[in-house]
Structure 1
Amino acid sequence: MTLLMVVLGGAVGAPLRYLADRAVTARHDSVFPWGTLAVNAAACLVLGFVSAFALPGWAAALVVTGLLGALSTYSAFGYETFRLLRTRARFLALANAAGSVAAGLGAFALGGAAAAVFGA
């Protein structure tokens, strides 16, 4: 049952990540990976929110591991930061690394604060 929940969540999260990344990237004429930054921050926001609630195991597998695991992507973040370094865009690589960590932590905290409003 748990594996099925992870698969179902991932089946939604992976295409959602791709579509959101493409939508954000299409709006920016830049080599900076805005799409990956946006989807990772969004996943952290939702994770911060749902972490405040006691989810049953199946729901955690579906939402946290499946959906949010597929939505966020550390590998793309690492690849895009390395690609910026290889093209000598050192400032953008540093901005991506620092900005991604700051945005993720901030979004997680914001999600947790929003959950508190809902009584979590």
Structure 2
Amino acid sequence: MNGFIWLAVAAGGAIGAMLRHGVSRLSLHYLGPNFPWGTLSVNVVGSFAMGMLIVWLSSREPQSAAMRAFLTVGLLGAFTTFSTFSLDVVSLYRDRTMMIAGAYLFASVILSIGGLLGGLALGRQLS
């Protein structure tokens, strides 16, 4: 059964990645390269879809673990990891405290940007 969940995530991920690429190409074509419209679009649409999906899945318990993984981790996770990040922040706020949610939000943004900058610096030194 566990192997089937991995396949469901992979299938959803393939579809989500293709959708993300399609949105990025369409945004670039119609809106131009001066702003990351594609990324913004998938982040907002993906976060909205994750919210609706979680409510829908929660109201239909129990449902297939493979279907849940296909839709949330695979499809929406590949379409935009921001939707998962958004769900994590809201879940932390709901289940714990604003302080923990805020720390996660701050750490995720700052450390991710720091990681990117560090990777750029190291990549430049190695090339």
TM-score range, shorter chain: 0.5 to 0.7
Q: 1:36·1:73 contact (CA, 8 Å) conserved in 2?
A: no
Residue 22 of structure 2 corresponds to residue 14 of structure 1? no
- Tell me what 2:31 maps to: 28
Q: Map of 1:1-120 to 2, 5 A cutoff?
A: 1-53=4-56, 54=58, 55-73=63-81
Structure of greater Rg: 2
- The gaps in structure 1 that reach 5 residues or longer are 84-120
Percent of aligned pairs with the same amino acid:
33
One-letter amino acid of the structure 1 residue matched with residue 73 of structure 2: T
How far did residue 29 of structure 1 move? 2.9
Segments of 4+ moved more than 2 angstroms: 53-56
How far did residue 30 of structure 1 move? 4.3
Select the structure with the greater relative contact order (CA < 8 A; seq sep ≥ 6).
Answer: 1
One-letter amino acid of the structure 2 residue matched with residue 21 of structure 1: S
| Root mean square deviation of aligned Cα | 2.4
TM-score (norm 2): 0.55
How far did residue 70 of structure 1 move? 0.5
One-letter amino acid of the structure 1 residue matched with residue 74 of structure 2: G
How far did residue 71 of structure 1 move? 0.3
More helix by share: 2
Q: How many residues align?
A: 79
- The gaps in structure 2 that reach 5 residues or longer are 83-111, 118-127
- Return the alpha-carbon distance in structure 2 between the equivalents of residues 12 and 71 of structure 1: 8
Report Cα offsets for 1:45-102 as digits up to 9, x if no partner. Answer: 110111102253111110000000100145xxx78xx89xxxxxxxxxxxxxxxxxxx
Q: Secondary structure at the match of 1:32?
A: coil
TM-score (norm 1): 0.58
